């Protein structure tokens, strides 16, 4: 049978773009369809705009700390709309870069909603196309819990388009999205309350990391309410009123409420039933090579139940293309993927937490260190950085590395290779670092 395309990709986010460029190198005919903007969540509503916000908020702290280094006190005003304009200009530049690279690679770009007609046919804006292979890279979207008055809340997607910053904000959810927005908004001078129904924020991270990040948020003036959530939200003349339940059963009135309680895959209207693809409300079912229940249809990125990280999505997309047109690569090892939280203090982690390690190994050593980075030693409110290395005592093998503090993401991703290479704790400790730096502290535990 002759097909219109060798590969049809639905979704032009991180995974879809990486897959399209990889497929073009095989010399096959590729199409990619996107109903919103090129770049997906990461470029338009996630990693990139969020980190630009982090940078913007950091300038406020830097100006306050400058006096400790001999600078005269200075005052400055932050203009949210001016920042939005500059941010959006950069995002548009990134979208154009992606479009140009696809065009140069010979990828056919389609704009519009895509759905399956049958396992080999998709429809975009009433036009039908057949494909030998299909890659689903449709990403995810923020979701809201079923709470009375939830319509008065914002999601992270909504927040980027706010016309002005709120003076008071409540954040429902203590995962990485909630913690990152709490840090940024406090840096902009907002009164921030973050609540979560767990005993501490950042569920899934090492317990020592979680407690230290929460302490850091509180030190910066953020109200952190754990074992607490809301069951009723109303709009009043004074603002948005939340009735809290749990450990802090009080009433909270704010200007805006950000709902950061998780994400779900973008599966509505895809016609997966027509394609014979198995799925549930939480994810598309895939095997270790990203194949769905239809062998010629693959799914990667946030529409599956694996790690929701941009580098993971890119790698999944590239590996799926290799499996289609080249040689099948080894399954991705999700246990050794580093991750970071763009909070203040910053968090980074790779490998097993101490608790996970103790569940899997008989004897585990945990080597910890707390220190004040040199940059902060002249400032009046310095917060210690923290490093933990988790080791299997029997083999001296590194199991996990966790850090809270200055440059955590850059440091941890640099040493993630040590876990991949089965480097021993002894070998790591005999590596000579650079002085003076925060990174050298990891090499002297």
Which are the catalytic amino acids? Answer: 435
As a residue count, the chain comes to: 445
CA distance 132 to 401: 43
Name the pairing type of β-strands 223-226 and 279-280.
Answer: unpaired
* Beta-strand runs (E) in 137-271: 140-142, 168-172, 191-196, 223-226, 228-236, 239-246, 251-254, 256-259, 263-265
| Look-up of token digits 């876990």 | 419
Cα–Cα–Cα angle for 435, 69, 86, nearest 5°? 90
**Contact assessment for residue 256 and residue 154, using Cβ atoms and an 8 Å cutoff:** yes
**Contact assessment for residue 370 and residue 385, using Cβ atoms and an 8 Å cutoff:** yes
Residue 367: strand pairing partners: 389
Long-range contacts of 440-445 (CB under 8 A, 24+ apart): 441/369, 441/371, 441/385, 441/387, 442/387, 442/389, 442/401, 442/403, 442/411, 442/415, 444/369, 445/367, 445/368, 445/369, 445/387, 445/389
Q: At residue 146, what are phi and psi to the nearest 5 degrees?
A: -85, 85
CA distance 285 to 118: 18
Which residue, among 172, 148, 170, has the nearest Cα to 232 in the 3D structure? 148
Q: At residue 91, what are phi and psi to the nearest 5 degrees?
A: -65, -40
3-state secondary structure at position 110: strand
Which residue, among 159, 212, 222, has the nearest Cα to 341 in the 3D structure? 212
**Contact assessment for residue 193 and residue 171, using Cβ atoms and an 8 Å cutoff:** yes
């Amino acid at each position: 049978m002759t097909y219109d395309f060798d590969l049809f990709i639905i979704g032009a986010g991180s995974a879809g773009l990486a897959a399209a460029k990889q497929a073009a190198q095989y010399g096959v005919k590729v199409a990619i369809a996107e109903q919103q903007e090129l770049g997906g969540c990461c470029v338009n509503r996630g990693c990139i705009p969020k980190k630009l916000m982090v940078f913007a908020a950091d300038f406020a702290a830097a100006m306050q700390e400058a006096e400790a280094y001999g600078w005269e006190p200075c005052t400055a005003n932050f203009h949210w709309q001016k920042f939005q304009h500059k941010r959006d200009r950069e995002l548009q530049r990134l979208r154009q870069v992606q479009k140009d690279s696809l065009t140069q690679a010979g990828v056919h770009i389609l704009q519009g909603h895509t759905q399956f007609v049958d396992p080999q046919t998709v429809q975009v804006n009433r036009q039908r196309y057949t494909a030998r292979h299909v890659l689903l890279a449709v990403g995810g979207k923020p979701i809201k819990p079923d709470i009375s008055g939830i319509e008065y809340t914002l999601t992270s997607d909504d927040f980027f388009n706010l016309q002005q910053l709120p003076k008071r904000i409540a954040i429902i959810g203590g995962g990485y999205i909630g913690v990152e927005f709490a840090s940024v908004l406090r840096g902009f001078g907002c009164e921030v309350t973050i609540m979560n129904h767990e005993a501490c924020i950042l569920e899934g991270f090492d317990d020592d990391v979680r407690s230290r990040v929460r302490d850091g948020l509180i030190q910066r003036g953020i109200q952190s309410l754990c074992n607490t959530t809301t069951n009723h939200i109303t709009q009043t003349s004074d603002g948005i009123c939340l009735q809290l339940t749990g450990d802090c059963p009080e009433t909270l009135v704010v200007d805006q409420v950000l709902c950061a309680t998780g994400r779900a895959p973008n599966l509505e209207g895809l016609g997966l039933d027509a394609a014979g693809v198995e799925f549930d409300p939480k994810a598309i079912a895939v095997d270790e090579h990203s194949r769905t229940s239809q062998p010629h249809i693959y799914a990667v990125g946030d529409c599956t139940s694996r790690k929701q990280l941009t580098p993971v999505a890119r790698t999944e997309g590239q590996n799926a293309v290799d499996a289609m047109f080249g040689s099948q690569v080894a399954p991705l090892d999700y246990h050794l993927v580093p991750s970071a939280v763009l909070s203040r203090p910053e968090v980074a982690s790779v490998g097993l937490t101490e608790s996970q390690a103790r569940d899997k190994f008989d004897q585990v050593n945990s080597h910890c260190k707390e220190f004040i980075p040199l940059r902060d030693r002249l400032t009046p409110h310095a917060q210690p950085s923290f490093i933990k290395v988790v080791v299997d005592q029997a083999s001296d093998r590194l199991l996990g590395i966790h850090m809270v503090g200055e440059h955590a993401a850059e440091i941890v991703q640099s040493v993630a290779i040590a876990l991949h290479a089965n480097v021993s704790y002894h070998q790591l400790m005999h590596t000579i670092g650079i002085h003076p730096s925060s990174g050298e502290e990891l090499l002297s535990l």
